[in-house]
Amino acid sequence: MKVITRFAPSPTGHLHLGGARTAIFNWLFTRHYQGKFYLRIEDTDTLRSRQEYTDSILASMNWLGLDWDDEPVYQSQRFDLYNQYVDRLLESGHAYWCSCSPEEVEKMREEARAKGEKPKYNGCCRERGLRPSPGNPEKMVVRLRAPQTGVTVLNDMVKGEVVFNNSELDDMVLRRPDGAPTYNMAVVVDDIEMGMTHVIRGDDHVSNTPKQILIYQALGADLPVFGHVPMILGPDKQKLSKRHGATAVIDYEKEGLLPEALVNYLTLLGWSHGNDEFFTLEQLVKEFANGKLNPSPSAFDPEKLAWLNHEHMKTRTAQDLADLTVPFIKDLGLPVPGNLTALVEMLRERAPTLKDLAAAMTFMLVNADELEYDPKALEKVLSPESRQYISALQSRFSELSSFDESSLHEELHGYVEANGLKFKQVGPPLRVALVGALTGPDLCRIMSLLGKEQTLARLTRFQQS
Ligand code: GLU
């Protein structure tokens, strides 16, 4: 099947989760069918559009691994093209000039409302055959001569058949008095020009679709296949918005999520493939057409996202995770150690995100005097005896010529046995001395990775506590 799709963000903010999911669906669908996926920046709203948001959206797309074909198209650079299409509609009689002022149109809408009808423009200039006078052209708009009876049918990939009564639709404005195209006009021209075969977008656009279909029909152009995916809801089942917390892709990048995990999770919010949940990007591309786009909305579940992220972290090599964790370590103001990969190996099981991984490393990266003791843990293990055990271990460890895990293990257990002690008398104070807490990875592994000097410094500090 020939497939050409696009993602068409308006650069009025960072890429949010709903937009990202739309981009992902179009991208997966296209890559599955080996078609073309284009990016179109819908920046006709010059007051709200900003270059920094375009840059941020492109950066988030790159981060998610969603590549696009050719250069992005900017609507703000294509007004001439849109006007050529408006002219075509005027020439063919599918559009007409209208000189009604916004106030007059508002009055017509009120009159319709008062009669219990759908508020709309009453078609007053339809048959007037107005032409802009050369001296004063900008006062008029161009409107579509829309059918007033019958129905417009949307055959939606996700929603099935949706029928709109044409009597409810307006003779919509296609060109504003300043010569700028309206939103729906620009979208249709671009989708025709760019050869779109499929338009997958959020169902907040579903009310635009019959209007767009009428423009296609007036232009005699083939319709793309439309697919409107339901909005993402917050955990309270209301439309996901800022009040639910982080909604921008960039926030999740900063939180240390892996892009493939976010792509996997967002795909599951609206698409399913049996009960499967974990998908790599390659698997999603392969399976996308075999799954189902769901017509009912799904709620965003941060815990499930965290779980999926941890699952994806498991599939990355320690070296990969080490590289990805570096910026998070720097953010914490900590030094990046030479043995970072080994630290990742030791701690990765305990950290569901890259940021958590960096945080979990803190105790390994600070100096002995900066290590934070959990006060409760310290209170539990601190006693004249425990100080003595730590002091004895310190002298034993200081004699070691090789500070590797197995030598440390032998030394530690040798000390416990030789003195008729139980490990639970020695292990917890040693752990607090090294970690500052009562939980953590294997003690000998910690010590070998800290190295002799840092280990001994921590044992000294414990005895002075
Ligand atoms: N620019 C629109 C938006 O950001 C998308 C329009 C479309 O996909 O047709 O919501």
Q: Give the nearest ligand 1 atom to 22 CA.
A: 8
Instruction: Please say which residue of 283, 315, 347 terminates a domain.
Output: 315
Residues 361-381 have pLDDT tens digits of 999 999 999 999 999 999 999
The finding on whether 9 has its CB within 6 A of some atom of ligand 1 is: yes
| DSSP, res 245 | S
- Separation of first and last alpha carbons in the chain: 72
User: Which range marks the domain in which residue 36 is found?
Assistant: 1-71+230-315
Residues 103 and 174 in one domain: yes
Residues 211 and 102 in one domain: yes
The encoded tokens of residue 282 equal 């390659």
Query: Other C-beta atoms within 10 Å of 446: how many?
Result: 22
The finding on whether 8 has its CB within 6 A of some atom of ligand 1 is: yes
Cα separation, 388 vs 372, whole angstroms: 21
Cβ 156 vs Cβ 295: under 8 Å: no
Residues 140 and 197 in one domain: yes
Q: How many domains does the chain have?
A: 4
Q: What amino acid is encoded at 71 in this protein?
A: E
Q: Nearest residue CA, atom 4 of ligand 1?
A: 9
The finding on whether 17 has its CB within 6 A of some atom of ligand 1 is: no
Which is the catalytic residue, given 2, 239, 242, 330?
242
For residue 66, pLDDT beyond 90: yes
Of 336, 354, 360, 370, give the one whose Cα is nearest residue 440. Answer: 360
Residues 134 and 165 in one domain: yes
Spacing, Cα 148 to ligand 1 middle (Å): 27
Give the CATH number, domain containing residue 446: 1.10.10.350
Place of tokens 């104070």: 429
Residues 25 and 143 in one domain: no
Spacing, Cα 112 to ligand 1 middle (Å): 30
Residues 223-247 have pLDDT tens digits of 999 999 999 999 888 999 888 888 9
The dihedral sign for the CA sequence 134, 135, 138, 143: negative
Q: Give the nearest ligand 1 atom to 7 CA.
A: 8
Angle between helix 302-315 and helix 259-268 axes, rounded to 10 deg: 130
Q: What is the mean pLDDT of residues 189-208?
A: 97
The finding on whether 23 has its CB within 6 A of some atom of ligand 1 is: no
Spacing, Cα 311 to ligand 1 middle (Å): 32
Q: What is the mean pLDDT of residues 191-208?
A: 97
Residues 257 and 356 in one domain: no
Residues 301 and 341 in one domain: no
Residues 55 and 83 in one domain: no
Average pLDDT, the chain: 96
The finding on whether 284 has its CB within 6 A of some atom of ligand 1 is: no
Give the CATH number, domain containing residue 330: 1.10.8
Of 79, 68, 14, 77, give the one whose Cα is nearest residue 38. Answer: 68
Residue 237 annotated in active site: no
The finding on whether 209 has its CB within 6 A of some atom of ligand 1 is: no
Spacing, Cα 24 to ligand 1 middle (Å): 14
Instruction: Please say which residue of 229, 245, 266 terminates a domain.
Output: 229
Instruction: Please say which residue of 334, 350, 365 terminates a domain.
Output: 365
Size of the chain, expressed as the number of residues it contains? 465
Residues ≥6 apart with Cβ < 8 Å to 304: 265
Query: E strands of 129-235, at which residues?
Result: 141-144, 151-156, 160-165, 173-175, 198-202, 225-229, 232-233
Cα separation, 280 vs 298, whole angstroms: 21
The encoded tokens of residue 260 equal 């493939």
List beta partners, residue 232: 298
Q: Nearest residue CA, atom 6 of ligand 1?
A: 8
Residues 60 and 82 in one domain: no
Spacing, Cα 8 to ligand 1 middle (Å): 5
Q: Nearest residue CA, atom 3 of ligand 1?
A: 9
Pocket test for ligand 1, best of 6, 10, 196 (most atoms within 8 A of CB): 10
Give the CATH number, domain containing residue 275: 3.40.50.620
The fraction of the chain above a pLDDT of 70, given in percent, is 99
Q: What is the mean pLDDT of residues 261-282?
A: 97
Q: What is the mean pLDDT of residues 41-64?
A: 96
Spacing, Cα 201 to ligand 1 middle (Å): 7
The finding on whether 42 has its CB within 6 A of some atom of ligand 1 is: yes
Residues 132-179 have pLDDT tens digits of 877 665 589 999 999 999 999 999 999 999 999 999 999 999 999 989
Q: What is the pLDDT of residue 138?
A: 58
Burial of 422 (0-12, 13-18, 19+ CB in 10 A): exposed
Cα separation, 276 vs 4, whole angstroms: 28
The fraction of the chain above a pLDDT of 90, given in percent, is 93
Cα separation, 429 vs 400, whole angstroms: 21
Backbone angles phi, psi at 36, to 5 degrees: -115, 140
Residues 386-427 have pLDDT tens digits of 999 999 999 999 999 999 999 999 999 999 999 999 999 999
Residues 101 and 202 in one domain: yes
Residues 291 and 329 in one domain: no
Cβ 437 vs Cβ 377: under 8 Å: yes
Residues 64 and 85 in one domain: no
